[in-house]
A and B are shown apart, each in its own frame.
Chain A
Amino acid sequence: KAGVTQTPRYLIKTRGQQVTLSCSPISGHRSVSWYQQTPGQGLQFLFEYFSETQRNKGNFPGRFSGRQFSNSRSEMNVSTLELGDSALYLCASSLDSGGAMDTQYFGPGTRLTVL
């Protein structure tokens, strides 16, 4: 079974621009979460989507948004990019069977550099 895929793997943008990152979850997984990893703050939760609805949200400004499509694929968007948005953005998917705790499986990430 294919793992979580993220595109693009690397991206360079300038301040003020906006960016869209894409995530395809493992087949059959219905929940998609996004995380930001920076050297200073570590891995921080951005938001989680399930059935095309944002179900959980972290403490990030409104410039960070996302959506999920009917096939569970997800995109996240960052508008008005700032230098501090340079980070590795990780997507994780899980089954969400509604029963026991699900494991989140991570993609390789998108490395965003803001100049």
Chain B
Amino acid sequence: DQQVKQNSPSLSVQEGRISILNCDYTNSMFDYFLWYKKYPAEGPTFLISISSIKDKNEDGRFTVFLNKSAKHLSLHIVPSQPGDSAVYFCAASAGGSNYKLTFGKGTLLTVNP
């Protein structure tokens, strides 16, 4: 049973435009959500996180939106840059401990120059 789902395996965007990556979850106990970026042959790199007490968190070009009623979160990248091309993982944790992360299967973002 996949508790965190990223339904789009891939996304292609033009440089300078907005990239929107989506993530759905089923476990209502999840209270902390994170996005990681992964390049080939490297480990995931932390991007941005959001607690369930918020509905938006911004960090530079990256914004994460959380809709608890829909059990949905999204990552917006504006403007998209070719260096953003990577696999993006959505992750969630429950119960105040982020040491056990449940990951989605990832979305491959390609930003075309």
Contacts and interface: CB of A to CB of B under 8 A. Distances in A.
Interface string A42-83: 111100101000011010000000000000000000000000
B43 to A, nearest CB: 3
B41 A103 contact: no
How many A residues are at the interface, by size bracket? 20 to 34
B101 A56 contact: no
A26 interface: no
Could you tell me the dominant secondary structure of chain B's interface residues? loop
A24 interface: no
B103 A43 contact: yes
A4 B36 CA distance: 16
B59 interface: no
Interface string A87-111: 0001010101000011111111100
Contacts of B100: 33, 45, 48, 56, 58
B82 interface: no
Given A42-B105, A108-B41, A55 B46 contact: no
B49 interface: yes
Q: Which of A90, A101, A102 has the most CB of B within 10 A?
A: A101
Interface residues of B, number: 24
Interface string B69-113: 000000000000000000001010000111111111110000000
Nearest to A47: B100
Contacts of B105: 42
Contacts of B89: 42-43
B45 interface: yes
Given A42-B105, A90-B43, A109-B43, A104 B99 contact: yes
A50 B97 CA distance: 12
B51 interface: yes
